[in-house]
Amino acid sequence: MVVKVYGPDYGSPKRVLVCLIEKGVKFETAGIDLFKGEHRAPDYLKLQPFGSVPVVQDGDYTLFESRAIIRYYAEKYKHQGTDLLGKTIEERGLVEQWLEVEAQNYHPPIYDLVLKIVFGPLMGDTPDPKLIKESEDKLSKVLDVYEERLSKSKYLAGDFVSLADLSHLPFTQYLVGKVGKEYLIRDRKHVSSWWDDISSRPSWKKVVELWPGLY
Binding stretches for a second copy (CB under 8 A): 49-50, 61, 63-65, 67-69, 71-72, 75-76, 89-90, 92-94, 96-97, 99-101, 103-105, 142, 145, 148-149
Within 8 A by CB and 6+ apart from 59, the residues are 1
Q: End-to-end CA distance of the chain, in Å?
A: 31
Q: Which is nearer to a second copy, 56 or 208 (CB)?
A: 56
DSSP-based three-state secondary structure for 183: helix
Q: Which is nearer to a second copy, 52 or 172 (CB)?
A: 52
- Smallest separation (angstroms) from a second copy to the CB of 114: 16
What backbone torsions phi and psi does residue 68 show, to the nearest 5 degrees?
Answer: -75, -40
Q: Which is nearer to a second copy, 67 or 201 (CB)?
A: 67
Q: Which is nearer to a second copy, 145 or 210 (CB)?
A: 145
Give the strand order in the sheet containing 27-30.
27-30, 3-6, 55-58, 61-64
- Smallest separation (angstroms) from a second copy to the CB of 64: 6
- Smallest separation (angstroms) from a second copy to the CB of 49: 5
User: How would you class 16 by CB atoms within 10 Å of its CB: exposed for 0-12, middle for 13-18, buried for 19 or more?
Assistant: buried
CB–CB of 71/19 below 8 Å? no
Q: Which is nearer to a second copy, 80 or 104 (CB)?
A: 104
Q: How far is CA 41 from CA 17, 49, 93, 181, 199, in A?
A: 23, 10, 38, 35, 34
- Smallest separation (angstroms) from a second copy to the CB of 68: 4
Q: Which is nearer to a second copy, 117 or 164 (CB)?
A: 164
- Smallest separation (angstroms) from a second copy to the CB of 89: 5
User: How would you class 7 by CB atoms within 10 Å of its CB: exposed for 0-12, middle for 13-18, buried for 19 or more?
Assistant: buried
- Smallest separation (angstroms) from a second copy to the CB of 209: 28
User: How would you class 26 by CB atoms within 10 Å of its CB: exposed for 0-12, middle for 13-18, buried for 19 or more?
Assistant: exposed
